[in-house]
Structure 1
Amino acid sequence: MCAIEALERLARCERPRVVVGDGALSQLGALCSELGVGRALLVSDRGLVDAGHTQRAEKVLASAGIEATLFSSVSPNPSESNVQACALAAGEAGVDFLVGLGGGSAMDTAKGATFLLAGGGQMEDYWGRGKGRGEFMPLVMVPTTAGTGSEMQSFALITRERDGRKMACGDERAIARIVILDPELTASVPPEVAAHAGLDCLTHAVETAVTSCANPQSLQLSHLAFQLVCSSFSEALKTGALDARRNMLVAASLAGLAIEGSMLGAAHALANPLTARVGLDHGRAVATMLPHVVRFNAQDPGAAAGYEELCRATAIEGGSEGLAIRIEAWLDEAGVPRGLGAAGIADTDLGTLAEAASQEWTGGFNPRPVDASSLQGILQSAL
């Protein structure tokens, strides 16, 4: 029932318009034609070129009379220069819209490029909310992983090169016009990538359910996303069943939409330095920290109640501790070590990591206030 409710919720979206279905990539050309556009920059990565997905997208666009130029130089955790290169490619090709085909990195790169194409300057100029300038090109998103939910968000997360900080650059004009959720595209994703993406989706659902600015609408989205994760993540990992992968794609989009209203919390604040300074994959980093953040936040009565409410429609019992234990079980299922020590992190690293985490914007929305000292304590518990 929650899967049906989730699909109905997405169907009510007007911006972006969401199309869900097996093989839905075949509708890309027709949907883009409705926007009145004719020349696309297809933003993707080499893995999707090798998998044949970019060629399929180009063919579908061509069938609708739309010419596509491929930009396949997306890097993980896209940097300022990566986004600038994408915007330059778009300008040189004379495109009138962009298609982000891939995981969060491809979609954030495409999204970031729309800021630069509209207003010029540097990505740092747009750090924050509502700083965009000019008229943004239409953006179409086609996620190939069930994780970030970037397809539903107005924010592009771009890495500042001089210190590795994640810059959240958001503007309502950067919201995609169309999102296509095709679970068939996720079949070629390597198991480890799929697992880490699913853990990112899980973390989004849990964190958005208790942030200090969560609201009734965002909570509904968080709860629906979490219910889908509970019913489908393990199955998607074990068998790769199409239904499970479809549910995870929908869950990722719902949780991504929840972020728009509720933001995130301490798990993301702690994870970003782990990615920037240690090279830990984002999904693994946030999920490794999540059970420890849940236990920390549970000392706040409001957060504890939020976790209990989140679990109410699932089989998870035991309140916050039961939730933390279940998250650890999902880490085990995904083959992700629970401790930071497995990533080569030592006790002597924690102070620097905690100080960096205290500067991250997401920590400001955590339900229980955090500072460098408390964040170091959470890192210590995860060691």
Structure 2
Amino acid sequence: MTDPIRFLDLAAQQARLGPALRARVDAVFDHCAFVMGPEVAELESRLAAYCGAGHCVAVSSGTDALQIAMMAEGIGRGDAVFLPAFTYTATAEVPLVLGATPVFVDVRPDTFQIDTDHLRARIAETRVAGRLRPRAIVGVDLFGQPADWPALRAIAAAEGLFSLDDCAQSFGGALSGRRLGREADATAISFFPSKPLGGYGDGGALLTDDADCAALYRSLRTHGEGTTRYEVLRTGMNGRLDTLQAAVLLAKLDVFDDELARREAIARQYDAAFARMPAITPPRRVPDSTSAWAVYAILLADQAARDGLAARLREAGVPSAIYYPRPLHLQPAYAPHHDGAALPVSEDLATRILALPIHPDLTDAQVARVIAACTA
């Protein structure tokens, strides 16, 4: 039997990058600065330079990046944070942890990005209801593609709202020729192992052009400390990135552009094949953008068709995944906080979406197997 294809092949990547990874990790064991060692500052400098941001603050996870950014804005009880209903749980979790309320917004049926027309309506509804203060918009760059940031920035400016780019899945992507990282007041990224730039554990970072915000983020990630370790200026958290994770990420950053190019090449093969298959709808590319292709998600006619294809793929040794099987406003943890607004697109996508393997170590022969299994 042909060997199964891996949905995410970190072992192959590790074999390919082995000497560089070991050299970076061995350097950490040599100097033993396991917390805030020199690799953290080096990584921050390189990430900021990569996307042209003024400052980068490395933190312990993408979730903590979101939380630190909102803590810095004083977001809390009585505040409304507008965010898409079709995304990962962390985006909605953080406002609730801080005492704020997520206000769920529907997404576009073609790109899966937040629907800016519906966002405007949701902000207006919230203002009329008067129960919550509109405070922030979280735009999620879903699956590797950018949200409509020109429209989101315009809405945030008109409404006087803080804008936060949840770029957890899309670092390396670009919009209008500019790499993501500077589209909002602050940008949160994640280095979870499955991300295009992933570590060997949790990790994240915040990007901003505002020096004062960067200084505040650095304080908040280290227990709210001031200029010395035992000067505590504010309530913070333990949100530092481990030096070992920074070392791994530095090794991977050296080949990041090559890996992004390989992801794009695979996506193009899928696009070409599925354009000839009426039963499969490939993802629509956001205009004037480049995707990081964290996820390549197709749509089927209905849930039965989706589940049937997933079963056939499994029999052929081809993995798949569902991102996401339930929109956030229907999750038990968040349903009590939802105001009951209809979000039909998010609910429909959850029944029809299916993600296929896309990673830089997927061979052309394996891509052909995935495509063949989809047509069987």
TM-score of the pair, normalised by structure 1: 0.37
Q: Which has the higher helix share?
A: 1
TM-score of the pair, normalised by structure 2: 0.38
